[in-house]
Structure 1
């Protein structure tokens, strides 16, 4: 995995949410959570594993919605931030944070209804192996996102602390075929790069997002989207 040492640093974990999901980044956070909920609904009573759960943005949300969730991450510092979030959260389901390696998941086959991995595959050095392991422990559904090769992200990708693996639609289709997953739905979004939203106040980011959504709704711009949200089913 790219950038493991950087990712596991205490100061990175402490500042992670503020740097990425404050200011205009709130719009990114909202959209990503919408994408996850839309794919999984109804959430209540589902048994869910989140790979690379980080500070628990999705794990806490899903537990609040009534799911029984395990959040797995390699960073103890990130997991600690997630545990802090649960102190004041009203959880309808259950939530457990576990430190572990996404390449060797400590669960039996078909253990979860759904496995999700957000902000993960752009760091994967062997995406097929990781997806196959997720497929092994899921009996129904896998939801993940990818950053797209033909997008604005490719312009500044080299400057990111961990870099990114960028994907074409055809590459993801091959991964799904090799891991016996069937595509149920894919949504493309964010013509403007994430870095733009994070760098400006929410008040400025909101009209840009409105324009972004308008342009993104045109069929001819699908291939320019920065991110794709994939909803797949186990065969």
Structure 2
């Protein structure tokens, strides 16, 4: 997606995101964060959005969140304040294609439901790998295009509307499988209707 389209989409979705797409994907977020909690250490959530996942992080994890949208971040900061989420150490405005962190900064880097939204997802994945420590994990939960069936046809029909609806319905899994420093160690299907895919990668070293 084009960056300007992403900006407009984020601003449009921010007021209603929690009760629409956010509600549909909440079970997958819980399961993804439980994986991060089991690893412990410090974690970076890329595309933290309105902070829907933040309350699920355990106190044993030190969380930093980044997002391109200030409208989304404002809602995330409010959640941190209202719920007293002391495990959240920072929420920063940032382009996921150019993360302002030194190499090898985080034990786990996680992105939930953003890879089919951001421009240049391959570059975003490369940045996630760069800031992950050797031996650490890069975790992605996202919708990927189905290869067959009725839903696959619907995804293809919706594809030209990506800038309007805010995500690529026909986003191919191969897009996130080409980072040479990452090895896939786990793959699972998440609700609703097994539409979301959980991928855990380990960084070399």
| TM-score of the aligned structures, taking structure 2 as reference length | 0.81
1:68 Cα deviation (Å)? 1.1
1:182 Cα deviation (Å)? 1.0
- Equivalent residue, structure 1, for 2:14: 13
1:155 Cα deviation (Å)? 0.7
**Partners of 2:33 and 2:56 within 8 A in 1:** no
Alignment pair present for 1:233 and 2:205:
no
- Equivalent residue, structure 1, for 2:59: 65
Higher helix proportion (structure 1 or 2) = 1
Call closer, same or farther: CA 1:95–1:4 in 2, change over 3 Å: same
**Partners of 1:148 and 1:167 within 8 A in 2:** yes
Higher strand proportion (structure 1 or 2) = 2
Q: Could you give the per-residue CA deviations for residues 100-126 of structure 1, whole angstroms, max 9, x where no partner exists?
A: 110110000000111001111112342
1:8 Cα deviation (Å)? 3.6
Distance 1:71 1:191 in 2: 25
| TM-score of the aligned structures, taking structure 1 as reference length | 0.72
| Unmatched tracts of structure 1, length 5 or more | 193-224
Q: Could you give the per-residue CA deviations for residues 15-52 of structure 1, whole angstroms, max 9, x where no partner exists?
A: 11022244xx3xx3023211331x223254x1111111
1:90 Cα deviation (Å)? 3.5
**Partners of 1:103 and 1:133 within 8 A in 2:** yes
- Equivalent residue, structure 2, for 1:155: 154
**Partners of 1:8 and 1:76 within 8 A in 2:** no
| Unmatched tracts of structure 2, length 5 or more | none
Over the aligned positions, Cα root-mean-square deviation in angstroms equals 2.4
Count of aligned positions: 192
Higher CA-based Rg: 1
1:99 Cα deviation (Å)? 0.2
Deviates more, 1:83-92 or 1:150-159: 150-159
2:117 to 120, 123, 134: 123
Q: Could you give the per-residue CA deviations for residues 130-166 of structure 1, whole angstroms, max 9, x where no partner exists?
A: 1111100001110002322216265153456123153
Q: How does 1:26-45 map to 2 (within 5 A)?
A: 28-37=25-34, 39-42=35-38, 44=40
